Chain A
Amino acid sequence: MDMGNILTVASGKGGCAKTTTVMILAANLAAQGFKVAVVDADRNQSFAGWHAAAYEGPPLTCRSEVDHIKVVDLAAELAEDHDVVLVDTAGFENLTAASAIGMADHVLIPCMPDRGSVLETMRTSQQVGSLSKAARRSIPYSVVLTRWKPRGLSERATLESLQEEKISPLQQSFGDLADFAKMSFSGMVPISGKVGQQASSLIAELVAKGAIPNTPARGVAA
C-alpha cells in the first residue's frame, strides 16, 4: 500500500493557530474516514494534552516526540499505516521543527492578520526553501490564513505583504470564530457548521495540491 502523507504545520510565530489547525484537520479528516496520526513535536504538548484530556471525536493516533532525530523515524513509521500524519511543531525556529519540515511531504504555515505573523510566514517559507535544498528534494508548502475577518484592514495589509513576497495563500481561510477557542476546552471539534465547512474546503484544497491523499485507503485509527 502507498505510504501516507506527512503534513507538517509550522511557523516561527508563536500562537498563530498551529495547534488549532492540527486539531481541526485531524478531527475532520478522521470524520471523512481517513486514518489519521498526529505527532506532537512541541515540548509544550498542547495537542497531546488536549487529546488525552479533552478530545471527543473520531479516533486518532496521537504520539509525542520532541527529539529532532526520533521525530523523523516516528513520522515515517506512522506514515506506513496511516493515510495522513500531521505534525504539530513549536512556535519558534528549532531543530525539531526543522526536521519536521525536512521530512514533510507538505508544510502548512498558518498566518494571522498581523505584521509579526507575516514576517514569520516569510521566514518559515524561506526555511522550507533552504531545507528543501539541503534535503535535495522539493518540499511544497501552503499558507493558510487564520483568525481571518473577511473585510478587515489588517487582513488587507497582510494580503498585500504576502503578495509582495509572491506568496499566495490558500483560498480557504479559518475565520476568527469563538468556536475555535471553545473546542480547546470542550474537546469537541466542529465537523459541520461554519468551522466544519471551512475545514472541508481547506481539506479539498490540500487534496488538490497532493498534500493529502484523494481518498482514505486505510479506514479510521484504532
Chain B
Amino acid sequence: MSNFKPKRVSGADLAAQISDATRNTPAAVVTHIRPEPPPASPVVEAANTQVNFKVTAAFADLIAEEATKAGSTRRFFARLMRDAGYAVPEADVNPPEGRRRGRKGG
C-alpha cells in the first residue's frame, strides 16, 4: 500500500500539463472554452422577426413539451443557447410578460 501523495498542482498548472492530451476533449460546459461573448446590447430590441422551420412530428412534439415547461418556445431556445455559451439577448431569455396578441382590455 502506498500513501505517498505528491504535492498537488494548481488547476491552471494541471490544465497546462494535460492540454495536449485533452486537445480534442469537449468542455463540460461550453461557456468555459468560448471567448467572452460580447456584452448583450443594453438597448432592448423589440421582437420583430418571425422564425419558423419544418421539423419531424416527433421533434415538434418534443419542442412543444419542453417549450411548455420553459414558458414559451422562444424562451426555451433562448435559454438553451445561453446555457451553451451564446450571447442571447436578455429580451429573448426573459421576454416581457403577458403581452399576447388578442388579449382583451388593458
Contact = CB atoms under 8 A, between A and B. Distances in A.
B10 interface: yes
A215 to B, nearest CB: 11
Chain A: interface residue count, which band? 35 or more
A99 B9 contact: no
Interface in B1-35: 1-3, 5-6, 8-12, 14-15, 17-18, 20-22, 25-29, 32-33
A86 B80 CA distance: 30
Given A95-B27, A96-B27, A68 B32 contact: yes
A76 B21 CA distance: 22
A102 B17 contact: yes
A95 B21 contact: no
Most-contacted residue by chain B among A98, A131, A137 (CB, 10 A): A98
Interface of A: 2-3, 5, 41-43, 66-73, 76, 79, 90, 93-99, 102-103, 105, 130-131, 133-137, 207-210, 213-214
Interface of B: 1-3, 5-6, 8-12, 14-15, 17-18, 20-22, 25-29, 32-33
A131 B27 contact: no
B27 A102 contact: no
Nearest to B27: A95
Given A94-B25, A97-B28, A105-B5, A68 B11 contact: yes
Given A43-B28, A90-B28, A95-B27, A134 B8 contact: no
B12 A69 contact: yes
